[in-house]
């Protein structure tokens, strides 16, 4: 059976889909293809080599032309089924254009309702609240005689395969800097949503608290804007800032060598958890029960405001991140053994 998975973005959401991907690869008669937005193709570097990756530049100079190109490419494979893990109009249109039956999210969880009109909605059980469970449920659909009789899927933590981790052990250009740093904790101050960004004063207090224990705090970043903020935070807290932008292999190397990784509900934190690094994640507009990584090395700090979780990218009040205390993050690091 030849299957196409459509999960265009974003970083963390692609990591969430790893357990469903492993479910598919565990079937010896299944060949898996994956369609991703070109901007997030780097995330697929952590996929097993058996996965065939296709990329579409929806934010490029000629998005329509590139979408038509990738549709022609996909149609040549004559897929037996397509799985849409995203639930957006753009993902549903691309999935449908592959000329096969399309299975998608339960219509109650589809972010853009018209997407459900183009797909066969897979019903979720009440206890299937986590996105990992929901992805696994959709991945089961092509093999079922009836969508109404599918079993309840359990939560399985996303994990990178050992051979993938081994391939990521490439020395960093700043490897000598890492050795000079000694024991360090990565602070990822970026947040894909404005509402996930911790106030600067809280980050500075966390960094100073870490360094008071004799360990180094290292601010990470992924783009020019994040670099400016990370550099400013590092200067104000007398911490360190990554000297260069890291590719996926180098990022994995950085996280593997860290004593812990601290940040919001972002792709870097989900990647760290998938590598079984110690993580401390704080939550406000999003919810750990919905998308959090769970395991013996994962720690969570919840704000739980009366208005949340709202799952909104913008907010006129911005109360949830203000409720996250540096002392709570430092306490979680202490309980984890990182400091």
Domain ranges across the chain: 2-156, 173-336
Report the candidate in 168, 157, 219, 163 with the shortest Cα–Cα distance to residue 15. Answer: 157
Main-chain phi, psi angles of 15, to 5 degrees:
-60, -40
Region of residue 83 (phi > 0: left; psi between -120 and 50: alpha; otherwise: beta): beta
| pLDDT-derived band at 179, boundaries 50, 70, 90 | low
Report d(CA 71, CA 76) in Å as an integer: 9
Task: Indicate the length of the chain as a whole number.
Answer: 339
Which residues, in sequence order, are bridge partners of residue 36?
55
Question: Residue 217 pLDDT more than 60?
Answer: yes
Q: Give the percent of the chain with pLDDT over 70.
A: 97
CATH class, 2-156 region: alpha beta
Strand order of the sheet with strand 279-283?
Answer: 240-241, 216-220, 184-188, 260-263, 279-283, 298-302
Spatial contact of 168 and 248, defined as CB atoms under 8 Å apart: yes
Q: Identify how many contiguous H helices and E strands the chain contains and give both numbers.
A: 13, 12
Q: Max alpha carbon distance in the chain (Å)? A: 61
- Helix (H) / strand (E) containing 298: strand 298-302
pLDDT tens digits for 230-281? 999 999 999 999 999 999 999 999 999 999 999 999 999 999 999 999 999 9
Mapping DSSP to helix (H, G, I), strand (E, B) and coil, where does residue 279 land?
A: strand
d(CA 237, CA 230): 11
Compute the distance between CA of residue 121 and CA of residue 108 in angstroms, rounded to an integer: 9
Output the pLDDT for position 168. Answer: 79
User: Could you tell me the CA-to-CA distances from 302 to 134, 151, 289 in Å, in that order?
Assistant: 23, 31, 11
Phi, psi of 231 (to 5 degrees): -65, -40
pLDDT in tens, 296-323: 999 999 998 888 798 888 887 778 889 9
**180 pLDDT more than 90:** no
Please give the radius of gyration of the chain, using alpha carbons only, rounded to the nearest integer.
20
pLDDT score of 47: 98
Question: According to CATH, what is the number of the domain 173-336?
Answer: 3.40.50.2000
Q: Burial of 96 by CB count in 10 Å (0-12 exposed, 13-18 middle, 19+ buried)? A: buried
The two domains 2-156 and 173-336 share their CATH topology (first three levels equal): yes
Residue with tokens 């599918």: 150
Paired tokens of 327: 């002392």
Rounded to the nearest integer, the mean pLDDT of the chain is: 95
What is residue 52's DSSP assignment? E
Q: What sections of the chain are H helices per DSSP?
A: 11-16, 18-25, 63-75, 89-97, 131-140, 162-167, 175-181, 200-211, 224-237, 248-257, 267-274, 288-291, 326-336
Question: pLDDT (tens digit, 9 = 90+) per residue, 122-161?
Answer: 999 999 999 999 999 999 999 999 999 999 999 999 999 9
Please determine, for residue 177, whether its predicted confidence score (pLDDT) is greater than 70: no
Neighbours of 147 (CB within 10 A): 15
Residues 6+ apart with CB under 8 A from 281: 262, 263, 264, 265, 269, 288, 292, 293, 298, 299, 300, 301
CA distance 290 to 238: 35
């Amino acid at each position: 059976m030849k299957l196409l998975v459509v999960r265009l973005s974003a970083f963390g959401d692609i990591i969430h889909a790893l357990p469903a991907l492993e479910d598919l690869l565990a079937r010896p008669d299944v060949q898996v293809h994956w369609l991703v937005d070109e901007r997030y193709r780097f995330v697929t570097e952590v996929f097993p080599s058996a996965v065939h990756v296709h990329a579409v530049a929806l934010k490029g100079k000629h998005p329509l032309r590139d979408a038509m190109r990738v549709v022609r490419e996909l149609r040549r494979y004559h897929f037996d089924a397509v799985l849409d893990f995203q639930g957006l109009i753009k993902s549903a249109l691309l999935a449908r254009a592959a000329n096969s039956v399309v299975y998608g999210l339960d219509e109650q969880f589809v972010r853009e309702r018209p997407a459900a009109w183009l797909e066969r909605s897979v019903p979720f059980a009440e206890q299937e609240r986590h996105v990992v469970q929901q992805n696994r449920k959709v991945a089961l659909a092509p093999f079922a005689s009836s969508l109404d009789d599918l079993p309840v899927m359990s939560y399985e933590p996303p994990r990178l395969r050992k051979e993938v981790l081994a391939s990521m052990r490439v020395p960093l250009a700043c490897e000598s800097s890492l050795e000079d740093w000694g024991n360090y904790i990565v602070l990822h101050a970026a947040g894909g949503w404005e509402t996930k960004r911790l106030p600067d004063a809280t980050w500075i207090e966390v960094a100073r608290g870490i360094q008071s224990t004799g360990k180094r705090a290292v601010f990470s970043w992924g783009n020019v804007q994040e670099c400016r903020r990370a550099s400013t935070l590092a200067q104000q807290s007398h911490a360190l800032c990554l000297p260069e932008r890291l590719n996926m292999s180098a990022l994995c190397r950085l996280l593997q060598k860290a004593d812990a990784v601290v940040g919001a509900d972002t792709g870097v934190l989900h990647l760290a958890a998938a590598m079984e690094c110690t993580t401390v994640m704080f939550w406000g507009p999003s919810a750990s029960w919905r998308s959090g990584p769970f395991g013996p090395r994962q720690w969570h700090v919840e704000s739980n405001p009366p208005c949340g979780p709202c799952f909104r990218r913008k907010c006129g009040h911005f109360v949830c991140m203000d409720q996250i205390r540096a002392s709570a993050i430092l306490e979680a690091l202490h309980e984890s053994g990182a400091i």
